[in-house]
């Protein structure tokens, strides 16, 4: 290791003997005026001892040295210099003349004091990394709100008006809940890209449009009309929103499939903000955002009311159909059974998640569940080959529905009841008693969404299931994530010990299929092998090519 250098302009005779006590140090003498530049340009300099009586030079040296994290010791000829040294926050000072011991001690003390500096620098670096994260969303690459406000400040003052559009992407949280945060991240990325694309070729591009992402799952547009152009009219904005909705929806369907696209919906609220020099600009803009957000919410409310009406008429007309999604044996790829997926006939209720959400709001869950169950069981005889099982989704709440009983099905031994714990089970003893009765009739049980956080090993042990369905979030990209592999391995081992079978849901890629196969997962369900369909699929299917549309 090279020697540390002490820079100094001092010619004190006691300095040389003092430095001999400090191992590995060299003293270098310069003129007082040269110290500041030398400190900054030479990394080997570890301390400065300054003896000048010139206040400007002293200030300069101390500031430059501190800028580089180098401690300063001031050799004071008189009290004035001492006071300056203290005022400038030099690490140490001593009165001249001084003994070698005194100088040595001051240098050591100064070095000790400056130790915290690298830690400070560390904290600054961390702050910077965090700050960057705050200014731009790392996922979507869109600026965050403070950046947007800063950017639009001058333009807004100049043009005098600004339109805030608040894009409320409903049910994105649902995507996270069902498919995991990685999927939501991917969908948000697609959304942001689609939004940017859209802006590039919109009629509004003559004016200044800016987008921000709120880090929740909403987007905010600032639209500032160009000079000499009127702000977009209500009609233009409505038209633009409709096109944006189609554009983003199309992109999401193309990249993430129709199940996720069915969850997609934007409600757009808007607010006009006029510049007022008397009111703080930020406050004006935030008010506008709040107004736009509220507007988007009231549109959402209206939309919801319309959906409830749709649901009521669907229930009346039995407007639910069932898609059957094959579950296959991993080793042989033979059909083992089908999961029944209920879908609304009406377009607004196509997605089962949406349908059940609406039902929950309108207190129609039992009725909807009854209809879906009845539909799924109706299709059993025509759809399923003998020996194939029907996997039926049942919410724990359904067990307290008096109309749901063990005699509803003629072949209980061919039905597997899938239980999800998304809704908490309140009365465990009673619930288990109901399960026992069903089990005695010959029904089997599966725990749905295992590993999603809703169902840990503890609750799985509690339900003693015959099948464990692994959550999609555990399967998604399992080929590259060793933690997921370990968790699945644990589940398979647990299942083997308890005489149960593991089903991997959401297998979409060949790599994922291979990974779950290698881990010993017994059964597989997913787009890689089959898509859900109304038609009976062939008995054995190879990969994606044979998927039924």
Residues near other proteins, by CB under 8 A: 119, 121-123, 125-126, 129-130, 132-133, 136, 138, 181, 451, 453, 456-457, 480-484, 486-487, 490
CB of 132 to other proteins, least distance (A): 7
DSSP 8-state symbol, 48: E
Nearest approach, Cβ of residue 120 and other proteins (Å):
11
With tokens 């600032």, the residue in question is: 222
Nearer to other proteins, 320 or 487 (CB): 487
515 φ, ψ to 5°?
-60, -45
Cα separation, 297 vs 305, in Å, equals 12
Minimal distance, residue 324 CB to other proteins, in Å: 31
Sequential DSSP letters for 516-542: HHHTT--EE-STTT---BSSPPPSB--
Structure tokens at 73: 């010791």
Name the minimum Å distance from CB 521 to other proteins: 17
The residues with which 211 forms a beta bridge, in sequence order, are 221
Positive or negative, the Cα torsion across 446, 449, 452, 453? negative
Judged by beta carbon, residue 124 or residue 440, the one nearer other proteins is 124
**Which residue, 201 or 482, is less far from other proteins as judged by CB?**
482
Spatial neighbors of 509 by CB under 8 A, at least 6 apart, are 479, 528
Residue placing its CB nearer to other proteins in the complex, 275 or 494: 494
Class of residue 433 by CB neighbours under 10 A (exposed 0-12, middle 13-18, buried 19+): exposed
Question: Distance between CA 449 and CA 421 in Å, rounded?
Answer: 8
| Shortest Å, Cβ 261 to other proteins | 25
Quote the CA–CA distance of 367 and 315 in Å, as a whole number: 8
Distances (CA, A) of 252 to 95, 156, 264, 275, 339: 75, 33, 8, 37, 25
**Which residues contact residue 444 at a Cβ distance below 8 angstroms, ignoring those fewer than 6 apart?**
389, 413, 415, 416, 417, 466, 467
- Least distance in angstroms from the C-beta of 139 to other proteins: 8
For other proteins, which is the closer residue by CB, 456 or 538?
A: 456
Of 1 and 483, the one with the shorter C-beta distance to other proteins is 483
* Sign of the CA dihedral with 240 first, then 241, 246, and 250 last: positive
Q: Of the two residues 83 and 125, which places its CB atom closer to other proteins in the complex?
A: 125
Whether the CB-CB separation of 306 and 517 falls below 8 Å is answered with no
Query: What is the Cα gyration radius of the chain?
Result: 35
The least distance separating other proteins from the CB of residue 501, rounded to whole angstroms, comes to: 20
Nearest approach, Cβ of 237 to other proteins (angstroms)?
32
For other proteins, the closer of residues 123 and 227 by Cβ is 123
Q: Calculate ∠ Cα 491-497-499, nearest 5°.
A: 95
> Could you give the CA distance from residue 223 to residue 209 in angstroms, rounded to a whole number?
4
Number of other residues whose CB lies within 10 A of the CB of residue 55: 13
Q: Which is nearer to other proteins, 141 or 160 (CB)?
A: 141
Q: Which of 231, 233, 252, 141 is nearest to 186 (CA)?
A: 252
For the CB of residue 217, give the shortest distance to other proteins in the complex, in Å.
16
> In 3D, which of 145, 214, 139 has the Cα closest to residue 184?
139
Nearer to other proteins, 423 or 480 (CB): 480
Shortest CB 257 distance to other proteins, Å: 23
Cis peptide before 97 (omega within 30 of 0): yes
Let me know: does 483 contact 503? Beta carbons within 8 Å.
Answer: no
Closest listed residue to residue 330, CA positions, set 517, 509, 471, 543: 517
Cβ-based nearer residue to other proteins, 20 or 496: 496
**Least CB distance to other proteins at residue 354 (A):** 26
Nearer to other proteins, 250 or 453 (CB): 453
Q: Is 203 exposed, middle or buried (0-12, 13-18, 19+ CB in 10 A)?
A: exposed
Nearest approach, Cβ of residue 277 and other proteins (Å):
37
């Amino acid at each position: 290791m090279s020697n540390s250098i002490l820079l100094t302009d001092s010619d004190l005779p006691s300095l040389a003997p003092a430095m001999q006590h400090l191992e590995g140090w060299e003293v270098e003498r310069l003129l007082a005026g040269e110290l500041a530049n030398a400190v900054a340009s030479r990394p080997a300099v570890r301390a400065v001892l300054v003896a000048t009586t010139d206040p400007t030079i002293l200030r300069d040296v101390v500031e430059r040295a501190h800028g580089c994290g180098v401690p300063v010791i001031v050799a004071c000829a008189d009290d004035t210099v001492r006071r300056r040294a203290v005022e400038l926050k030099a690490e140490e000072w001593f009165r001249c003349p001084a003994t070698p011991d005194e100088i040595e001690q001051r240098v050591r003390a100064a070095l000790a004091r400056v130790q915290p500096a690298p830690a400070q620098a560390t904290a600054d670096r961390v702050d910077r990394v965090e700050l960057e994260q705050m200014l731009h969303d790392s996922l979507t690459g869109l600026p965050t709100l403070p950046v947007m406000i800063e950017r639009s400040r001058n333009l807004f003052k100049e043009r005098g008006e600004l339109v805030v559009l608040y894009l409320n992407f409903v049910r994105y949280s649902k995507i996270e809940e069902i498919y995991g945060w990685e999927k939501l991240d991917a969908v948000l990325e697609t959304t942001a890209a689609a939004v940017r694309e859209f802006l590039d070729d919109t009629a509004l591009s003559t004016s200044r449009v800016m987008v921000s992402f709120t880090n929740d799952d909403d987007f905010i547009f600032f639209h500032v009309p160009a000079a000499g152009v009127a702000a977009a009219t209500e009609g233009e904005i409505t038209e633009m929103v409709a096109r944006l909705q189609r554009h983003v929806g199309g992109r999401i369907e193309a990249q993430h499939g129709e199940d996720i696209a069915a969850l997609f919906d934007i409600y757009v609220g808007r607010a006009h903000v006029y510049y007022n020099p008397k009111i703080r600009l930020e406050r004006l803009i935030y008010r506008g955002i709040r107004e736009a957000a509220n507007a988007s919410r009231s549109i959402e409310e209206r939309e919801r009311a319309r959906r409830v009406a749709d649901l009521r008429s669907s229930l009346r007309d039995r407007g639910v159909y069932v898609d059957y999604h094959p579950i296959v044996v991993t080793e042989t790829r033979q059909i083992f059974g089908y999961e029944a997926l209920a879908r609304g006939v009406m377009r607004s209720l196509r997605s089962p998640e949406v349908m059940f959400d609406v039902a929950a709001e309108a207190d129609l869950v039992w009725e909807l569940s009854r209809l879906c169950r009845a539909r799924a069981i109706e299709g059993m005889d025509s759809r399923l080959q003998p020996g194939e099982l029907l996997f039926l989704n049942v919410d724990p709440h359904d067990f307290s529905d008096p109309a749901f009983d063990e005699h509803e099905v003629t072949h209980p031994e061919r039905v597997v009841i899938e239980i999800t714990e998304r809704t908490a089970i309140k009365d465990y003893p009673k619930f288990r008693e109901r399960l026992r009765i069903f089990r005695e009739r010959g029904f089997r049980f599966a725990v749905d969404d295992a590993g999603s956080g809703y169902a840990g090993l503890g609750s799985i042990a509690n339900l003693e299931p015959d099948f464990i369905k692994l959550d999609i979030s555990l399967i998604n990209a399992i080929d590259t994530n060793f933690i997921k592999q370990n968790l699945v391995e644990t589940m398979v081992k647990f299942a083997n010990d308890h005489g149960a079978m593991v089903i991997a849901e959401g297998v979409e890629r060949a790599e994922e299929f291979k990974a779950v196969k290698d881990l010993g997962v017994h059964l597989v369900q997913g787009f890689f092998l089959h898509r859900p369909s109304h038609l009976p699929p062939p008995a054995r299917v190879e990969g994606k090519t044979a998927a039924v549309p």
